[in-house]
Each structure stands twice: as C-alpha cells, then as structure tokens.
Amino acid sequence: MPRKKPQASRTQAASKPTAKKKAAKKKVSKKKTSRKTAAAACRRQGGLFDPEPAASPARRKKKTANKTAKKSPRKSVSTGQVDVAIAEKMAKKQKDISVSEFFAKNRHLLGFDSPARALLTTVREAVDNSLDACEEASVLPELIIDVRATGSTQHVVTIRDNGPGIVREQLPRIFARLLYGSKFHARKQTRGQQGIGISAAGMYGTLTTGKPMRVVSRISRRKPAIELVLAIDMAKNQPVVKKESEVEVEWAHGTEVQIELEGTYKKGKHSIDSFLDQVSLANPHVKIVYSNPIDEEPIIWERVSKVLPDPPNEILPHPHGVELGILMQMMKETNSRTVSGFLCTEFCRVTPNVVKKVSDETEGLGKRIDPDRHPKRLSTADVRILHKGIEATRMMAPPTNCLSPIGEDLMAKTLRRNFDPELVITVTRQPSVYRGNPFQVEAGIAWGGELPGDDLASIFRFANRVPLQYEQGACAITQSIVGTPWKNYEIQQARGALPTGPLAVLVHIASVWVPFTSESKKAVASYDEILKEMRLAIMEAGRKLATHLRKKRRLADAERKKDYIKTYIPQIGIALQDILTLSDTQRTKAEGNLSDVLERSRKM
Amino acid sequence: MAKKIAKSYIDRVKRENAKRDKKTITSIENAADEIYKKIMRKGKPMLRFPVRSLSNVSYDKKKGYLEIGKARKERTLTVNTVKGFAQTLRMMGLSRELVQTNDFATKRDVYYQSKNWAEAKFSEQSESDTVMDDIEALFSVDDVSREQLRFVPDEHGGAVAGELVVLDPDLDTGEVERIDCTRFGSGAYSIPSSVEHLSFETKAKFVLAIETGGIFQRLQSHKFWKTADCILVSMAGVPTRSTRRFIRRLSDQIKIPVYAFVDCDPYGISNIYRTLKVGSGNAAHINRFFCVPSASYLGVTPQDIIDYDLPTHPLKDVDIKRAKDALKNDPFFQSKKQWRDALEQLLKMGVRAEQQSLAMWGLNYVIETYLPAKLANSKKFLP
C-alpha cells in the first residue's frame, strides 16, 4: 500500500530526535541495572517502560564501532597506545540487539505504521490467536470484541475468546515475548505463523500510551481466572509481570486480552468492521460479537455451521521445499546415524528407495553421496551436492490431508449471509503443491442482490482463513482475478482491471506455509503453481456464473418479446383495419390470431 | 378554342392521375389483404422486398438503365420484426390516406405524422426514412413510384432556361399555366418536386444538362439557348430525383437528345453522368422512372484535356478509387468500351479538369469556341 509509506517514515522521523536526546540518560540507567540481580532488574525494568526505544543508541554505535575497529590496525602504526584503549572502550558497547528492540524501532514491518492500522493490526493478531487456540481445543469459537475510545487517538481494545485458556506459566511468554509460540516450527495450516503478532501489539500499546497489557485467562470451571498485567523488557525480550491476581469471571474458559494503544478508529475498506466481516466469511463456525466506538448496538455475526473444520494435520517437510541452509542445520541436529535414515525420518515421502535414487543423482552431479554415511560428517560441499540431488529426483507429492479448506457449502452460506446476493457460486479445488508445500485454493462469487452494479467487483482475499486487507495490487489473488477473462462470463471488464458489476469475489488459499510477500501478511506471493490453481478456481466459478447470467438474459429477452407482441400487434390491427376497412370484430380476430402465431413461434 | 384544349388537357391529366391513384391504392390494398388473409389462416405473414444492392443490379442495353434483379428478401412477421411490420403497415395506411385526400407528405412530414401512432411511432427520422425506402421498393415491383405513394422529396429540383414552355395544369381551377422558360430574365424556372402532371412544348434541338451553376449562369446570361437552340438544365451536382424525372419526361415527350456537360473527373463521370443516364446502383428499384437513357456525354472528356490543353489538378486517391471501382464493378461502364477506354485514359493521365477550366482561354471561350466545336461533332460524344 504505497499510501502508507510516507506516513510510516514520518512516524519514524518524529521518533528519532527523542531517541537521541534521551540516549545519554538511558546509558546511565542501564549501567545501574546491569549490576543488580535479575529479579530486581525485572521489577525495575517494568517501571522503565516508556516510549523511548532504548535500543537505538546501542545499535547505531555498534555500526560505527565496527568501522573504526577495522581501520585501527593502520592507525596503530603511528599511535599504538591510544588504539587499544578505544577498541576496548568500543567493545563494551558492542552487544546483542534484542528482537523486541529491533521491532520497536521497525514497527511498520509488523503493521503498526499508522494509528489506524495499529488498531486494526491489534484486533487482527488477537483474533488469529484466539481462533487457532479454539480450533486446536475443538471448541466452537465465540469472540467478543470491544473497541472503546479513551481519547481522540487512543483506544482500549478488549478481545475475549472461549478457547481452552492458557496456563499461568505460559501466559507471560505468549503475550509478552516476541517470536515465542507453537506454530513457527510446525508444518501445519494455522492462522498465525511466527508468534510475533499479539506481543508486538502489547509492546506497541505500552510504547504509545505507557499502559501495560492486561490478560485474563481461565482454563477450567474448577479453577479461578488469573489476571496478569504484563510488559516486555525490550532489551532482553523477556516478559515482565507487573501485577498478578485471581479474578471472578462469568465464563468457564477462555482468554481475554486488553491493550490500550494509540490508534484511530475509522470505517471503510481497511477498518476493523470490514476485517471482522471478512473473518466471518472464511470462518462459518465462528460467532463474533463486536462493539465499536461509533455504532450504539454491537454487530453480531452468527455462525452458520456448528461443525468445526477438520483439524489440520501436522506434516513433515517435503524434500523439495527445503533450502540448503535449513538442510545443513537439520543434518547437524539429527539423531539419525545415516544420511538415508535422516532423510527417511525427517521428511515426508522419502523411502530408502527414494534415497537410492537421490544418491544416483548425486553421482551425475560430481560426487556420489553414499546413503550410509553419517549425516554429521558430510562436508558443506557434500551437502550442497546432496541438496541438488534431492532437487533433481522425482518423488511423490506431499500428503494433502493436512489442509482444511472452508468447503463449497459453507462458503456459499457465509457469502449468502454477508451479501444477500441473488446467486452464489463456490469452488474448492483439489490440493496441489508448490515447492514441496501442499496448498489448496477455493473461490466464491456472490452476484446481484444489493451489491452495487456500477462499481468494480469487491475482492476478498484469504490465506488460511485470515483476511488480507492491504497491498491488494501486489497479491497473487488480485492478479489471478484480473487475469480471468470475465468478458467470456457475461461480466464487463476494462483491460487490465478488475471486473465491473454486482460482484463479490472471494479467494482462499490454505497451505501449511502460505508464501507472503512480507512479514505482516498482506499479500500472497505469485508462484506459478499458486497462480494457476487460483485462475482455474475463478474460471470454474466464472463459467457457472455465465451459465446463470445467460439463462437470466434469455428469460428477460423472452419477457421483453412478450411485451413487444402485446405492444405492436394492436398497431398492425389498426393499420389493416384502416387499409382494408375491416370491422372491429375482424380486427380483433386478426389480432388474436397474430398473437397466437407469434407466441407459438417464440416458444419454439 | 384555347379553353377547350385546356379542358381536354386537364381532363386527360385528371384521368391519368385517377388511373395512377387507383393503381396505387389497389397495390397497397392487395399487399395488406395478402397479409390479412395469411393471418386469418393462422399463418405467418410476410413481405417481399427487392434486394437493394449492387449485387442485385444488372445493365440492360436495350432498356438503357440499371435494372434491379430478381433477388428478393422476405421479411416474415416474427417477434423481432413485429415493430417494423407494424410501422410499415401504418405507413402504407398513411400513403393510402394521402392518395384519397389528394395530399402529399415529405419525409419529415411522415416522421411527425408517425407521432400519432402510439407505440409504433418513430423516434428518429432516419428510422422512418428507412421504412419509407422499404415501402418504395416494395411497390416499385408494381410500377408505383414514391411520388405516386404521395411521399415527395424535400429537395429542390434543378433550374431550367431556354426554348421550352412547361404546361402546368391547376386541377382545382381548371386553368393550365403556360410557363415560358425564355421569359425568366436573368433567373430560371425551378423544377417542382413532382413533375408527373407536366407537359411540354418546344422547338429546341437538344437538352444540355450542366453540372455546375457557374457554367449554367454564363450560358443563361449570354442566351446560349437562343444561339444553340436548346434547353439548359442545371443539375448542381448529382441530379435530384425530380430533375432526372423532368429531363426523362422531356426527352420521352419531345424526343430530342440530352447532352451532359460535366467536369472531367471520376465523380462527374461515374456519379453525375452515370446516375443521370442509367440511374444509381443502390436505388435501382426506382431507376426505371428516374433515368435518361437517351443522354450522351458531351464533355469534358479526357481527350478534351489534351485537345484544349486545359489546366489540370492531379487525381486524388478517392478519384482513383472511384474510377477503378467503376471499371471493375459497374455494369454500365463494363458494357461500354468507349467508356472503359476513356476511364483508363484518365487514370493514365492521372489528372482531372473542371468545366470552368476552359475559362483559361477567355471567359466566354466555352460559348464561342468549345461548345460550338463539340456540338458540330455530336457523333463523337461518349455514350
């Protein structure tokens, strides 16, 4: 979204001067804390949670330090003594950058680049987590979302789910530590992927309002709910529990997150309202109750299905999707004692027979890799050959039962509920594979009804049931919709543009690993295999739409012709009566005959 | 005595008119009756129109005009044609009414008349013009012309000067108006839109049909008609229907030759002269009324350009295209070797010359030298 870019840089530019000014003050406090014990530090750091990103001076200095350090040997010829002192002094400043610090500085990467987006991103991340948790625990999800204004640009966002809840020990780490989670390492279709989202939202809230996030979780009716007030120690990427208490709640299990943050609420395409509407489209089993600062009544999306989607299975990676670096890492960490055993246990679709074929392939690539060698004793060059050998070997596609599509029927139901269209068409393709990752594409078209007829079609993009709201133009889904020959399907389309008409087009891609163009999950990358499947799905739906539209037009034509007959036959009667001086009876008779003849021919 | 002649003339005109009108009404009624009977038999009525295109046109040397062929297109009454059918029938009814009330209507009049036809009304004049053309074609098969259907053109006829008396009977008063075309001073007689009732008295030796108003003006003001003993007609470009019909009736009645004097370019030859002599390709169904088979081509010929050393302009692309088209597709030019040679000569020279280019040799060179020289040798005129 190019519109967002300038805003992002402005926010950064604005934050820089403050960072510089406070750098000196920060240094002092840091030295102090380093001497204290860990526990004490934790408590203190919590208090230090203010908008100044402490990381910045350290990071900038590190760069310069490196430069000078490299130059120093040359200088040492003339002034040896001073050099050592400088290098040592600099070495003190050279240290790790915490992930939290990095993201605090680069918040735009996570979708916190403008106040309006920050609010939306917070809701998005919480919703993703809640739904994944509910589904994993086989609970029909019910989300209660409340956005309330506490100032003109400040809002409290509260999101509660009826999921399994989170045990006390894990709560701080899940909500107040970046890159912590269960999903990153699993090759499984989930909404969240990296485990950055919700903790980043909490961090953003604390950065902008100074208020820590509040989490309430209850795991069973038999146990009380626990409330934690959490912050992140950005330097260490560690959670800080500021307050802990048992609270009374009326719900049996679930988790509630409350974050106060700087953000502006607005309606429109990139609004929370629109996001939740789309969530309800791709998640027929979810009930959402949503209150916002503008509407008086909460908006409710009732579920259209009481059946949970089939739980996605976790699968081993497919050899064709693995990168060289990852392969090396895996070989270092494996417990297998032969290359053959390693490949067969760590990957799917690999059998000793396949390993033999890979080994044969490596022979042609310069060096035969013996499958019986110990994986940890392969040189880098050998692994490289092995990797190429794997690429060159034909093997079975990965299993596709790990995917959980929405399904044609349920997709049709949600489209009907949300758009009340005249016609709904849904298509779920068979699973396919890109780079060793199984994926499945679905397309849905809602046509007519209240949808505006003169506008471009509305597009709804989903990846693993998560709506994509930004960077529409850069997305493979948009590309495939634009590339579809809509004119063949009785729909107008300007060259290189989206189709025009009373049309809503939904495309969903489900995969164990959806390739996004950036970390904040805005657009699907255009792999040929993915584009092809999307195009085929849309075209199949388009053909069905065309059938309907043609039939509709034929009926309208017939109706119009019927009118035609009624309108013009009397004129023929008048003319004949006029020329042939017929009696009125004769005229009526002629008109009747003529209608009969034409009606008969019309039906034929 | 004169009155008696006038009365008999008027009576004759009246008789002829009555005969023509009866034929028109019969044609219309027959067409309507055929449709009505078909409807009463529960069949699908249809109208048969002659196909109006060059592909359905042939040139008959004996008849001397481009004749429409036998090809017919049938328009059956279906759901899709019901509107056009209703409009055609309503317009036939209007025509019948015009004949009965001895009135007429121009194309524009018909368009406004249709506004009384409820849903069958026309929303653009071009629509009503098309239907009128259809009806005209439909009845041309019965030798009924548009004028007889009482649909008259809006356009003016050409101008006439010279040794001609036009007898124009006024059927209401019984008087016959004698119009002496020598007595218009520096002006000229204007051909009316309907010429069927006119008759002529003349001692002139030929009719000279002139393309441009400029040359007509010059010949008229120097009383060329007196010296050459002829009738001058100004066509002002492609002659209108009434001008063509007027010349045709003149040549039919008094049997004198008609000479065309036009620019030497493909437009003058293949559009103006060809249309005057044999009619036009796309309105072939009316050519039999509107052609002058006795016409011949005085000039300016391609050879004249050489003989008289006329100043020229190069042929334009559209001229070349028109000339080639005439040689390739036009049945009239194809049947006349002299014309094929002349057109090929013109194309080879690659130039064109206007009538008025004769003015290079003196403003009255055309009167004093060119026309007398050409007329002395009328055998050499192009056919």
The answer on A344 and A422 residing in a single domain is no
The answer to whether B295 and B276 are in contact (CB under 8 A) is yes
The answer on A443 and A530 residing in a single domain is yes
Is the CB of residue B76 less than 8 Å away from at least one CB of chain A? no
The answer on A342 and A214 residing in a single domain is no
Above pLDDT 90, what percent of chain A?
A: 23
Model-level pTM? 0.56
Look at A75 and B324; give whichever has higher pLDDT. Answer: B324
The answer on A241 and A151 residing in a single domain is yes
pLDDT for residue B1 is more than 60: no
Q: What's the number of domains chain A is made of? A: 5
For chain B, what is the total number of helices (H) and then of strands (E)?
15, 17
CA distances from B293 to A85, A323, B258, B377 (A): 121, 93, 9, 20
pLDDT for residue A65 is more than 50: no
Contacts of B154 (CB under 8 A, 6+ apart): B106, B107, B108, B193
Rounded to an integer, what distance in angstroms lies between the CA atom of residue A513 and that of residue B348?
78
Which two structure tokens, joined as six digits, stand for A126? 């919480």
Which CATH class for the B159-380 domain? alpha beta
Q: Are residues A579 and B43, on separate chains, in Cβ contact within 8 Å?
A: no
The answer on A161 and A264 residing in a single domain is yes
Using DSSP's 3-state secondary structure scheme, residue A241 falls into strand
- The answer to whether position A399 is within a domain reads no
Q: Which residue of A has its CA nearest to B117?
A: A571
Which two structure tokens, joined as six digits, stand for B354? 């206007």
Residue B263: predicted pLDDT: 92
The answer on A559 and A544 residing in a single domain is no
In order, the DSSP letters of B105-150 are: EEHHHHHHHGGGSGGG--SSHHHHHHHHHHHHHHHHTTT--TTTTT
Helix %, strand %, coil % of chain A (to 5): 50, 15, 35
What confidence tier does A196 reach under pLDDT thresholds 50, 70, 90?
low
Which two structure tokens, joined as six digits, stand for A146? 């409340």
Is the CB of residue A561 less than 8 Å away from at least one CB of chain B? yes
What residue type is assigned to position A395 of the chain?
M
In order, the DSSP letters of B166-220 are: EEEE-TTT--EEEEETT-STTS-EE--S--TT-EEE---SEEEEES-HHHHHHHH
Range B352-364 average pLDDT: 89
What is the DSSP pairing of strand A142-151 with strand A287-291? parallel
CATH number for position A508 = 3.30.230.10
The answer on A283 and A161 residing in a single domain is yes
What is the DSSP pairing of strand A458-463 with strand A503-511? parallel
CA angle, residues A120, A307, A534, in degrees to nearest 5:
60
What confidence tier does A14 reach under pLDDT thresholds 50, 70, 90?
very low
Residue A498: predicted pLDDT: 92
pLDDT for residue A48 is more than 60: no
The answer on A280 and A217 residing in a single domain is yes
Is the CB of residue A356 less than 8 Å away from at least one CB of chain B? no
Using DSSP's 3-state secondary structure scheme, residue A258 falls into strand
Task: Write out the E strands in A273-356.
Answer: 287-291, 299-301
What is the DSSP pairing of strand A492-493 with strand A432-434? unpaired
The answer on A112 and A86 residing in a single domain is no
Residue A546: predicted pLDDT: 93
Among A457-471, B15-29, B164-178, B274-288, which stretch is predicted with the lowest mean pLDDT?
B274-288
ipTM given for this complex = 0.74
- Chain B hits for A569, CB-CB cut-off 8 Å, are 82, 86
Is the CB of residue A556 less than 8 Å away from at least one CB of chain B? no
Q: Which CATH number is associated with domain B2-43+77-152?
A: 1.10.10.10
Q: Are residues B36 and A565, on separate chains, in Cβ contact within 8 Å?
A: no
Rounded to an integer, what distance in angstroms lies between the CA atom of residue B170 and that of residue B148?
18
Of A274, A301, A328, which residue constitutes the final position of a domain?
Answer: A301
Which two structure tokens, joined as six digits, stand for A25? 């003050």
B65 is a catalytic site residue: no
* Most A CBs within 10 Å, among B39, B80, B87, B121, to test the A interface: B39
Is the CB of residue B33 less than 8 Å away from at least one CB of chain A? yes
Cβ neighbourhood burial of B275 (10 Å; 0-12, 13-18, 19+): buried
State residue A157 phi and psi, 5-degree precision: -110, 125
Peptide bond into B300 cis (omega under 30): yes
What confidence tier does B68 reach under pLDDT thresholds 50, 70, 90?
confident
pLDDT for residue A602 is more than 80: no
Residue A181: predicted pLDDT: 57
State pLDDT tens for residues B227-252.
889 999 998 888 888 899 899 989 88
Which two structure tokens, joined as six digits, stand for B180? 């002496």
The answer to whether B253 and B245 are in contact (CB under 8 A) is no
Distance of CA B6 to the CA centre of its chain: 28
In order, the DSSP letters of A368-427 are: PPPTTS-GGG--HHHHHHHHHHHHHS--PPPP-TT-----HHHHHHHHHHHH--SEEEEE
Average pLDDT of chain B to the nearest whole number: 87
Above pLDDT 70, what percent of chain B?
A: 97
The answer to whether A145 and A273 are in contact (CB under 8 A) is no
Of B42, B79, B118, the CB nearest to A565: B79
What confidence tier does A6 reach under pLDDT thresholds 50, 70, 90?
very low
- Other CB atoms within a 10 A radius of the CB of residue A278 amount to 21
Range A488-504 average pLDDT: 90
The answer on A480 and A412 residing in a single domain is yes
Rounded to an integer, what distance in angstroms lies between the CA atom of residue A582 and that of residue A573?
9
The answer on A526 and A473 residing in a single domain is yes
The answer on A169 and A53 residing in a single domain is no
CA distances from A348 to A315, A405, B322 (A): 7, 21, 78
Which two structure tokens, joined as six digits, stand for A299? 């908006």
Of B33, B80, B86, the CB nearest to A575: B86
Domain around A387 = 319-392
Residue B209: predicted pLDDT: 93
Which helix (H) or strand (E) element contains residue B38? helix B2-40
Q: Are residues A571 and B120, on separate chains, in Cβ contact within 8 Å?
A: yes
Q: What is the DSSP letter of A458?
A: E
CB pairs under 8 A between A and B: 81
The answer to whether B180 and B20 are in contact (CB under 8 A) is no
Of A53, A70, A99, which residue constitutes the final position of a domain?
Answer: A99
Range A525-542 average pLDDT: 92
Rounded to an integer, what distance in angstroms lies between the CA atom of residue A42 and that of residue A48?
10
Range B6-18 average pLDDT: 82
Among A61-75, A483-497, A529-543, B366-380, which stretch is predicted with the lowest mean pLDDT?
A61-75
Of A571, A582, A590, the CB nearest to B118: A571
Query: Which residues are bridge partners to A240 per DSSP?
Result: A231
Residue A7: predicted pLDDT: 42
What is the DSSP pairing of strand B258-261 with strand B295-299? parallel
Average pLDDT of chain A to the nearest whole number: 80
Range A447-456 average pLDDT: 87
Question: What b/e readout covers A216-232, taking b as 16+ CB neighbours within 10 angstroms?
Answer: bbbbeeeeebbbbbbbb
- The answer to whether position A352 is within a domain reads yes
CA distances from B239 to A47, A153, B130, B233 (A): 104, 83, 21, 10
Q: Which residue of A has its CA nearest to B85?
A: A572
Q: Which of B36, B59, B112, B267 is catalytic?
A: B112
pLDDT for residue A81 is more than 80: no
Query: Which residues are bridge partners to B179 per DSSP?
Result: B166
Residue A311: predicted pLDDT: 77
Of A564, A578, A579, the CB nearest to B79: A564
- The answer to whether position A7 is within a domain reads no
Rounded to an integer, what distance in angstroms lies between the CA atom of residue A508 and that of residue A405?
8
Look at B233 and B290; give whichever has higher pLDDT. Answer: B233
- Of B194, B221, B207, B209, give the one whose Cα is nearest residue B163: B207
State pLDDT tens for residues B115-128.
988 888 898 888 88
- Chain B hits for A564, CB-CB cut-off 8 Å, are 79, 82-83
Above pLDDT 90, what percent of chain B?
A: 24
Residue A186: predicted pLDDT: 57
pLDDT for residue A20 is more than 50: no
Q: Which residue of A has its CA nearest to B100?
A: A579
Q: Are residues A594 and B39, on separate chains, in Cβ contact within 8 Å?
A: yes
Range A65-88 average pLDDT: 55
